[in-house]
Amino acid sequence: MIYTTKIYMPDKEKFKAYIDGIYESRCLTNNGPLVQRLEKKLEAYLGVKNLLCISNGTDALQLAYRLLEVEGEVVTTPFSFVSTTSAIVVEGLIPVFADIDGNSYNIDPKNIESVITEKTCAIAPCHVFGNACQIDVIDKIARRHNLKVIYDASHAFDVKYKDKHILNYGDISIISFHATKLFHTIEGAAIVIKDDALYEKAKIVRNCGIDGPDSVVMLGVNARMNEVEAAMGLCMLEEEDIIQKERKASHEFYTRQLKEYVQLQKKNEDATQSYTYFPVVFKSEDEMNRVREALLEKEIAARQYFKPSLDTLPYIEHQSIMVKSRDIASRILVVPMHSGIEPLVSETIIETLKEIRSKNYS
């Protein structure tokens, strides 16, 4: 079976060499030398400062709220991976959804201000599928209402907004380095913090509130990355340009083949294009289901990212229905971009749609 994502395995010999070093040093975790090296290399590669490696993206989101010491309601997107919402709930905050734009699939800034109340403390958008949010507009709203901004940039390793890496925006930006991501560390993530003092605090909070031998200075969590994960990251970083080149070619192929048949995500023109995912939206849920079945017959499992729409989660109190998010979630498929499968996927999509549509119009 071909799945939507395929985990990239970097050069085995290089990884083995790191593992040999880890065996020799017996240093497996606790802010080891490989984690520190990866942090410096990522800062240089991405052009960011104050980057810390974290155990995973979900922890990084939770850490962000904890660091900012916010209370109350967080205005967020209903269309993302579940952690964008669950981190808010786990930290004792209340997610309040603002519906997405039906073309970019990102939170629509026009819907943000109407749900801001005196209880709102932050805005938490996601650059979904690596498509940059309307950062300038969101920033203006945040400044007008004195709110923090936490960006979930988990899909945006390859994105610049107005010539700066996208992780530079917001009070805090996080990115997941989960095994399925464009850049990964098996499990892992990074948090990028604008304020220098908060960055220093994050180092302590990430380490259970410990700031030195026998000294616990604040309430913390264990959000440490380990040395094996950092070794994977160092190997991945060396091959990142090749990975991105391949994704770009697949992405461009799909765009050429499919643009007349399906809805493609409308990209933010102030940002560089991400080649991380290829989401396609069909005219109806029925079309999507028929295409998904046709692909499955050929052993290709395209995923319905992101379903469910997060306003339908069982632990969310009833709010207004996020009409656009639910609609896109019901009609979307993210197709695989690997293993040379792109021609077969696009042929299957086109043939299935032609068949369905010819029957509908006859």
Ligand X SMILES: Cc1ncc(COP(=O)(O)O)c(C=O)c1O
Q: What is the binding site for ligand X (CB under 6 A)?
A: 56-58, 80-81, 83-84, 126, 152, 154-155, 176, 178, 189
| Cα 56 to Cα 125: distance, rounded to the nearest angstrom | 18
Work out how close the CB of 257 gets to ligand X at its nearest, in angstroms, rounded to a whole number: 26
Q: By C-beta, is 79 or 254 nearer to ligand X?
A: 79
Q: Which of 292, 290, 314, 296 is nearest to 305 (CA)?
A: 292
Q: By C-beta, is 77 or 352 nearer to ligand X?
A: 77
Work out how close the CB of 155 gets to ligand X at its nearest, in angstroms, rounded to a whole number: 6
> Which burial class, exposed, middle or buried, applies to 211 when counting CB atoms under 10 A from its CB (0-12, 13-18, 19+)?
middle
Q: By C-beta, is 99 or 287 nearer to ligand X?
A: 99
| Cα 236 to Cα 230: distance, rounded to the nearest angstrom | 10
Contact 336, 345 (CB under 8 A): yes
Question: What does 118-149 look like in DSSP terms, one character per residue?
Answer: TTEEEEE-B-GGGPPP-HHHHHHHHHHHT-EE
Work out how close the CB of 48 gets to ligand X at its nearest, in angstroms, rounded to a whole number: 18
Q: By C-beta, is 244 or 257 nearer to ligand X?
A: 244
**β pairing state of 120-124 and 73-76:** parallel
Q: By C-beta, is 125 or 220 nearer to ligand X?
A: 125
Work out how close the CB of 83 gets to ligand X at its nearest, in angstroms, rounded to a whole number: 4
Residue nearest to ligand X (CB): 57
Work out how close the CB of 23 gets to ligand X at its nearest, in angstroms, rounded to a whole number: 27
Q: By C-beta, is 99 or 152 nearer to ligand X?
A: 152
Work out how close the CB of 229 gets to ligand X at its nearest, in angstroms, rounded to a whole number: 11
Question: What does 213-266 look like in DSSP terms, one character per residue?
Answer: TTEE-S---B-PPPHHHHHHHHHHHHHHHHHHHHHHHHHHHHHHHHTTTSEEPP
